[in-house]
């Protein structure tokens, strides 16, 4: 993509030389291009908006929870899918419109529900038990809470089984057979107003047909609900659009392909039913994945049964390859136009065999000190990082036009120990 270029043999992101960024901020280092996020958002909003003017994009904040990203999406007038009290609080502190937040989750605590009531945000309710608890919390506060139910569409989707969320067997959502009764009960609740439908079928989906089938499920439900007297203010079809991690071979649907698959079904459905709800989507990955690279320095090269390039970032900073066998393109950032010559496995510093960022990749001949860029790490990258092996997390830099700045400083050894407490008997 256009924000990644090669200048003087070095990879640049948003025009910023990665070798210079690594020198200025140290490695490992996440670097995010704000303009790319804005472009990704615009493409999706335009594609959907071309069909219908009542669309709303809610950024799935779990993909990347830095406050700077919340602020970008606030500036774009996006809302957010928030899945925890933390995400809700960050969204509000970044100035996002509470009316455009949906508090999601299959296991909300009493404190979560109380916070949702207090902040006046809409809630995606995932069970009847939760509905009753939320009603009680709203009643105690003397407020009415607008809700959607998360419906389980019982759809098989082509993705990694750990991130397919709409299977009949998955933990999310209310089964189709119970959903009408759930809305009926919600209508009868003193302090609940059911106003939406929420659905999400999974993540990293590289075909549009599953989204079309999902839309059919929610439209069928909308028809039943409007007969039942539910006034639908929004239909939220979740996120899930995949990105081409295999940059050479994956064919990811464009936002236009996605819109072309779902919008005609949506429009025909609502026209037929005679309603005009907002259409909400909740993308995470497709908005932010390709905006970000992870820069990591080679500590050493080892010739063994294969050739390992041992780098300073591992699954502490990018768990996707270890957790889902995910593929990320890697580039020799300081030798970006040198021809591929040798096969390398890029190995992290963590004390586990599975700590490999990339396997068997043809790259230019590498030596200690060279800089590797792991691409498409803006979604579920830093967000899933940890301090495993007592490794402080890296810094995150954001660039916009000619400017570059930290959006999170690197953690220090002191940051590791700060929350720890000495047991009294060890004084
Ligand atoms: N809405 C809901 C209710 C979700 O559960 C998710 C993702 C999204 C929206 C955003 O989906 P996206 O557009 O990003 O596909 N850590 C995994 C992905 C987990 C996704 C969880 N839910 C990974 O690294 O692949």
pLDDT of residue 1: 56
Using the mean position of ligand 1's atoms as its centre, give its distance from the Cα of residue 201 in Å.
9
Peptide bond into 28 cis (omega under 30): yes
C-beta of 239 in contact with ligand 1 (< 6 A)? yes
Instruction: Report ipTM (2 d.p.).
Output: 0.99
Task: Name residue, tokens 């190995």.
Answer: 347
- 70 vs 91: CA distance, rounded Å: 6
Q: In angstroms, what is the span from residue 164 Cα to ligand 1's centroid? A: 9
Q: Which atom of ligand 1 approaches the CA of 239 most closely?
A: 13
Residue 15 annotated as lining a ligand binding site: no
pLDDT at 282 over 60: yes
What is the C-alpha separation between 83 and 104, in angstroms, rounded? 5
How far is residue 330's CA from residue 296's CA, in Å, rounded to a whole number?
10
* Cβ of residue 277 lying under 6 Å from some atom of ligand 1: no
242 marked ligand binding residue:
no
Question: Quick one: residue 233, left, alpha or beta (phi over 0 = left, psi -120 to 50 = alpha)?
Answer: alpha
- Report d(CA 294, CA 316) in Å as an integer: 12
Integer distance in angstroms from the first to the last C-alpha of the chain? 57
pTM of the entire predicted model: 0.97
CB atoms within 10 A of CB 362: 10
pLDDT digits (tens, 9 = 90+) for 171-196: 999 998 999 999 999 999 999 999 99
The finding on whether 14 has its CB within 6 A of some atom of ligand 1 is no
Report the number of secondary-structure helices (H) and strands (E) in the chain. Answer: 12, 21
Q: What is the pLDDT of residues 226-259, one digit of tens each?
A: 999 999 999 999 999 999 999 999 999 999 999 9
8 A C-beta contact, residue 8 and residue 20: no
Distant-in-sequence, close-in-space partners of 184: CB < 8 Å, separation ≥ 6:
228
Asked if residue 120 lies in contact with residue 98, where contact means CB atoms within 8 angstroms, the answer is yes
The CA 260 to ligand 1 mean position distance, Å, reads 22
- The answer to whether 319 and 389 are in contact (CB under 8 A) is no
303 among annotated binding-site residues: no
326 CA: nearest ligand 1 atom: 25
11 Cα: distance to centroid of ligand 1 (angstroms): 29
Ligand 1 pocket test: which of 196, 240, 320 has the largest number of ligand atoms within 8 Å of its C-beta? 240
Pairing of strands 79-82, 101-103: parallel
Average pLDDT score over residue span 407-418: 98
User: How far are the Cα atoms of 41, 46, 52, 59, 264 from residue 56, in angstroms, in the given order?
Assistant: 11, 11, 10, 10, 17
Q: Where are the alpha helices (DSSP H) in 78-208?
A: 85-93, 110-119, 128-141, 176-188
């Amino acid at each position: 993509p256009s924000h990644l270029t090669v200048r003087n043999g070095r990879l640049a992101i948003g025009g910023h030389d990665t070798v210079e960024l690594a020198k200025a901020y140290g490695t490992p280092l996440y670097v995010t291009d704000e303009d790319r996020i804005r472009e990704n958002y615009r493409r999706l909003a335009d594609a959907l908006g071309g069909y219908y003017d009542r669309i709303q994009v809610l950024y799935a904040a779990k993909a990347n929870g830095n406050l700077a990203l919340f602020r970008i999406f606030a500036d774009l007038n996006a809302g957010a899918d928030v899945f925890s009290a933390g995400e809700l609080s960050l969204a509000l502190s970044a100035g996002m419109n509470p009316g455009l937040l949906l508090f999601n989750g299959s296991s909300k605590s009493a404190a979560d529900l109380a916070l949702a009531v207090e902040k006046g945000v809409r809630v995606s309710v995932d069970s009847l038990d939760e509905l009753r608890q939320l009603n009680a919390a709203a009643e105690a506060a003397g407020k009415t809470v607008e809700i959607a139910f998360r419906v389980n569409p019982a759809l098989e989707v082509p993705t990694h089984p750990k991130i397919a969320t709409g299977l009949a067997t998955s933990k999310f959502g209310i089964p189709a057979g119970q959903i009408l009764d759930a809305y009926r009960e919600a209508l009868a609740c003193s302090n609940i107003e059911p106003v939406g439908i929420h659905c999400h079928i999974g993540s990293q989906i590289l075909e549009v047909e599953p989204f079309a089938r999902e839309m059919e499920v929610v439209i069928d439900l909308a028809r039943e609900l409007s007969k039942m007297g539910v006034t639908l203010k929004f239909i939220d079809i979740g996120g899930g659009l995949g990105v081409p991690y295999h940059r050479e071979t994956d064919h990811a649907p464009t936002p236009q392909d996605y819109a072309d698959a779902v919008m005609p079904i949506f429009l025909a459905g609502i026209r037929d039913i005679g309603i005009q709800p907002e259409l909400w989507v909740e993308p995470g990955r497709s908005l932010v994945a390709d905006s970000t690279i992870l820069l990591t320095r080679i500590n050493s090269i080892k010739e063994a049964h294969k050739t390992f390039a041992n780098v300073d970032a591992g699954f502490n900073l990018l768990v996707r390859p270890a957790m889902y066998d995910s593929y990320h393109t890697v580039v020799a950032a300081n030798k970006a136009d040198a021809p591929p010559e040798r096969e390398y496995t890029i190995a992290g510093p963590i004390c586990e065999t599975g700590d490999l960022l990339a396997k068997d990749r043809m790259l230019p001949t590498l030596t200690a000190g060279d800089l590797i860029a792991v691409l498409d790490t803006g979604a579920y990258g830093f967000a899933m990082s940890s301090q495993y092996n007592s490794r402080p997390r890296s810094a995150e830099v954001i660039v916009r036009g000619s400017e570059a700045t930290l959006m999170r400083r690197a953690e220090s050894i002191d940051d590791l120990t700060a929350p720890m407490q000495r047991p009294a008997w060890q004084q």
